[in-house]
């Protein structure tokens, strides 16, 4: 039986995309196939982020891709979502790098920064010459950022920052950190430069997830930051939470790529693996599992496209992002685990993609709001009652 249906796009979601969006997806997809997939498994094994890919990502316009001007691509948010999907098809660590650079660092400078800050930082960040990280989470305050203990006190025309941040992607390789701190006037954001005295980073090792990504702790010991490095257009949790909403939007797309990579591997493996004189994909239980993966990926694709439509129309609500992030990451993690099982003993090695994606997704389902927090956000919307 022949079929014209794309096995990874059963509902022909690509038909809903514009010509520009398709071009973005195709170009990034080819780059991931040619440059990422051949090297990312060994990079994961070595616990290394492939730094040599940064200039190529910049050349493709992946950093700050939705920002207008300053050397950025000026794409819509659906195109940005597709970028995240293709990058995560390669590895969550690569998508995390781009997500932090774009949504958590360039976005707040563009949205809340002065014109001088935009001109100073955004062009270099778009070119990949300046790497950013986002300092919000602390060791005792993950899901409750309002309880942060990092403080910034005014001292003449400067601010003195003391405290620490934990689980910071890109931290040890970053040139600047967007740091959120308590002040007498509420939570404010600061651009801390890597060579400022008293600012130190420490790379976190022994990770079993996101191994092809740099994760760090940040430390601030009387770090003197000029007021010119304070983000002037926002105060309170609105600033960091709006950054997280932007990042969560991309994360709602990314794991679709992980799931597609795992499904493709399972399709190829079960078509070739012979057990009891028949290929694995000749068995009903295998076909049932593959069909269920396809169903869940298709649902996630449609959720993501609708999310992009709402975002591009400036109508997207945080609850909708929470529902999408919860649904799509859970979908991908479940599929990665199922595919790992279908590969049998071979599935525990990083010669296959399933266990790498499975391990990475254990982090993705936790960061940018745990699954439980997103469930409670949706629950609050349904009941009108805050349970956290």
**Which residues have a catalytic role annotated?**
368
DSSP string, 46-95: HT---GGGHHHHHHTT-TTTT--STT-----HHHHHHHHHHHHHH-HHHH
Q: For residue 339, how many other CB atoms are within 10 A of its CB?
A: 29
Q: Is 157 exposed, middle or buried (0-12, 13-18, 19+ CB in 10 A)?
A: exposed
Rounded to 5°, angle at Cα 34 from 32 and 40 = 65
Q: 260 CB contacts (<8 Å, ≥6 apart)?
A: 8, 89, 297
Rounded to 5°, angle at Cα 206 from 353 and 262 = 10
β 176-183/158-169 pair status? unpaired
Contact 190, 181 (CB under 8 A): yes
- 162 beta partners: 151
For 287, half-sphere exposure in the C-beta direction (CA atoms, 13 angstrom radius) is 5
CA dihedral 144, 102, 252, 360 (to 10 degrees): -80
**3-state SS, residue 6:** strand
Helix-helix angle 354-364:318-342, to 10 degrees = 150
Distance of CA 83 to the CA centre of its chain: 11
For 363, half-sphere exposure in the C-beta direction (CA atoms, 13 angstrom radius) is 21
Q: 51 CB contacts (<8 Å, ≥6 apart)?
A: 173
Q: Is 263 exposed, middle or buried (0-12, 13-18, 19+ CB in 10 A)?
A: buried
Q: For the chain, report the end-to-end CA distance as a whole number of angstroms.
A: 53
């Amino acid at each position: 039986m022949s079929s014209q249906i794309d096995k990874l796009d059963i509902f022909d979601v690509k038909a809903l995309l514009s010509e520009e969006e398709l071009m973005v997806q195709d170009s990034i997809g080819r780059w991931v196939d040619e440059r990422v997939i051949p090297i990312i498994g060994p990079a994961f094994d070595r616990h290394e982020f492939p730094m040599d890919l940064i200039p190529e990502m910049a050349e493709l316009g992946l950093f700050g891709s939705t920002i207008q001007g300053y050397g950025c691509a000026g794409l819509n948010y659906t195109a940005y979502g597709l970028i995240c999907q293709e990058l995560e098809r390669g590895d969550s660590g690569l998508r995390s790098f781009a997500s932090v650079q774009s949504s958590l660092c360039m976005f707040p400078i563009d949205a809340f920064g002065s014109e001088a800050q935009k001109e100073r930082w955004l062009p270099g960040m778009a070119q990949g010459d300046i790497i950013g990280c986002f300092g919000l989470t602390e060791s005792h305050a993950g899901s409750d950022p309002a309880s942060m203990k990092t403080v910034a006190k005014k001292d003449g025309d400067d601010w003195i920052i003391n405290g620490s941040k934990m689980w910071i992607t890109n931290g040890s390789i970053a040139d600047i950190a967007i740091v959120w701190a308590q002040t007498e006037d509420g939570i404010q954001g600061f651009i801390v430069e890597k060579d400022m005295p008293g600012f130190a980073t420490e790379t976190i090792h022994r990770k079993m997830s996101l191994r092809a990504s740099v994760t760090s702790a940040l430390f601030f010991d009387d770090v003197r930051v000029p007021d010119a490095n304070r983000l002037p257009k926002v105060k309170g949790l609105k600033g960091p939470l709006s950054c997280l909403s932007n990042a969560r939007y991309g994360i709602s797309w990314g794991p679709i790529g992980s799931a597609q990579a795992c499904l493709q591997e399972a399709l190829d493996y079960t078509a070739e693996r012979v057990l009891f004189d028949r290929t694995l994909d000749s068995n009903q239980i295998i076909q049932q599992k593959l069909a269920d993966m396809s169903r869940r990926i298709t649902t996630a694709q449609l959720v993501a496209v609708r999310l992009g439509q709402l975002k591009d129309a400036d109508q997207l609500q945080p609850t909708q992002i929470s529902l999408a992030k919860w649904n799509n990451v859970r979908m991908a993690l479940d599929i990665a685990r199922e595919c790992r099982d279908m590969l049998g003993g071979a599935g525990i090695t990083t010669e296959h993609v399933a266990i790498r994606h499975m391990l990475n997704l254990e982090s993705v389902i936790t960061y940018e709001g745990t699954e439980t927090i997103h469930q409670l956000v949706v629950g609050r919307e349904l009941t009108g009652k805050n349970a956290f």
